[in-house]
Each structure stands twice: as C-alpha cells, then as structure tokens.
A and B are shown apart, each in its own frame.
Chain A
Amino acid sequence: MAVRNLEVEVRRESGGAVLDLRGEINGFAQEALNAAYAEAEAMNPEAIILNFEGVDYINSTGIALIVGLLARARAAKRRLVAYGLSDHYVEIFNITRLSDFVNVFPDEESALSGAA
C-alpha cells in the first residue's frame, strides 16, 4: 500500500486561517504540515483551524506533529481548532487529551463560529 503523502492548502476565512489537510498524518507529513502552518501564521490569524475531512490515517508520529503545532500556537497565544475528525480520531484526541487544548468541532461552520 502506497503512503498517501500529506497535501495541505491554506486559506483565510473570517474566523481564522484554515489548513485543508488531505492524506496521511505520519512521519512523512512533517515538512508539509510545518510549512502550511508557517504560511497560516504569516496571515496573523487569531485562530488556526485544522480541517481533517480529507485525512484517513493519523499515527503516533502524526500525533506528535500535532502536539508540535499546538505548542507553537500556545506560544503565540493563538487558538488551535479542529474539525472533520472521524469518530475514531475524536476518541484518540480525547484519550491523548489533545481535545483539552484543541477545540474539536464536527464541521467547518461550527469551527469558524467557535474560533471567532
């Protein structure tokens, strides 16, 4: 099975900068994820919103990458918000306690409202 490298597009919305993630969040995703996050930071939004609708696999290395983004967001006093996670990955966000620090919403509309 071929690894689906992560592709990320960044867009500015009224509630914050949205990272549209497509593919797998694993060790191969580091460069793309960090570059996209830096592009979003340059927009100086109050919140950065991670759209997981196109993500079908997150492993423990991917969790570590998300922890890294969360650390960057907290250092800049910026909120990190997520939506589009499957039920399984919502559970993983809960057991790792990521959801204590990253507000998780079911869809973009609620995420943008919650981030504003």
Chain B
Amino acid sequence: MTAPRSGARRTLAELSVPSEPGNERRAMEEVARAVEGLGLPDRTLERLKTAVAEATMNAMEHGNNYRSEAPVVIEVSASEADLSVKLTDEGSGPPAFDSETPDLEAKLEGMQTPRGWGLFLIKSMVDEMSVTGDEHHHTVELVMHLGDRAEGGK
C-alpha cells in the first residue's frame, strides 16, 4: 500500500535518454545530479542510482526494444516526505519484468538463468515501487522516503 504523501511537490528534473545499451549510466548520473540539493546520505544515493539504472535498463530493453529513437523519459520530483523518480517507456501491453524471484542456489545448479536480478535489485533499493501502463506507455515509479531517513535505514 502506498503511504500518504504530504507537502508541496516540486519537479527537480525532466530528462530523457535514447534507448541504447549503456545509457542507464547516463540516466543514473543525471538523476544523481538532480537530487544533489537534497543532501541524501551516500548510502541512499547509491541505492537510488542502482534502482534508476536497473529501471532504465528494463525500460530500454523490454519497453523500447533498444530502439534509439524511443526515449526513456524520466521525471524526478520531491516533497518533504519523499523523492519520486518516474521512468516512462513506449512499451505496450503488460510491463515486462522477470517475475521469478532470483534464487542464487537455483542459478548455480542451472535451475534458473543467471540473469533476472533487475526487479529484485530495484525492490531491494527503494522504499516503494509501482508500475502502471496503458496501450502506449509503461511507467515505473520509484519512491524513497525522506522523512527521518538515517544512514542505517533502507
């Protein structure tokens, strides 16, 4: 369940990256620059960067099929309570995430593919994740709670 949000929300950045292999790093660095003024603890920032990179990769690969002319559009906004990053691709149909929970022992035994870590990493890095979509777009929203965030917290 999504927690209620409070306070005025301001947009920190709106950007887009072409769907080309490796561009997830560009996305994560640009988002990191956009949130510089929030003073996030290093651990929180690194978690955000990993989540943004993985969500961008998924959008480029599964949503846009790595068509460079199809961008991933990213909107970064914040309120006093939380930081939100919305990533929208041009995919249609159900959003494509590998729904199988990665099990390292199963992977080592050849029972699961070695891949399939993306969604697991995203969910492990952020406080909330939601996926919406219509016949023309998918949007993944990543949310990190900002209130009384401490270095030791998620």
Contacts and interface: CB of A to CB of B under 8 A. Distances in A.
A61 B115 contact: yes
A42 B99 CA distance: 38
B121 A88 contact: no
A24 to B, nearest CB: 7
Contact of A101 (B24, B53, B108, B114): B108
Given A87-B43, A88-B43, A88-B47, A96 B102 contact: yes
A98 B115 contact: no
A68 B104 CA distance: 11
Contacts of A67: 104, 107-108, 114
Contacts, number: 70
Q: Is the interface of B mostly helix, strand, loop or mixed?
A: helix
Contact of B54 (A60, A68, A96): A60
Q: Is the interface of A mostly helix, strand, loop or mixed?
A: helix
B93 interface: no
B22 interface: yes
Interface of B: 21-26, 29, 43, 46-47, 50, 53-54, 57, 102, 104, 107-108, 110, 113-118, 120-121, 124
Interface of A: 1-3, 24, 26-28, 57, 59-61, 63-65, 67-68, 70-71, 74, 86-88, 91-92, 95-98, 100-101
Given A59-B57, A60-B54, A96-B104, 10 more contacts: A1-B22, A3-B21, A60-B116, A64-B113, A64-B116, A67-B107, A71-B107, A88-B47, A96-B120, A96-B121
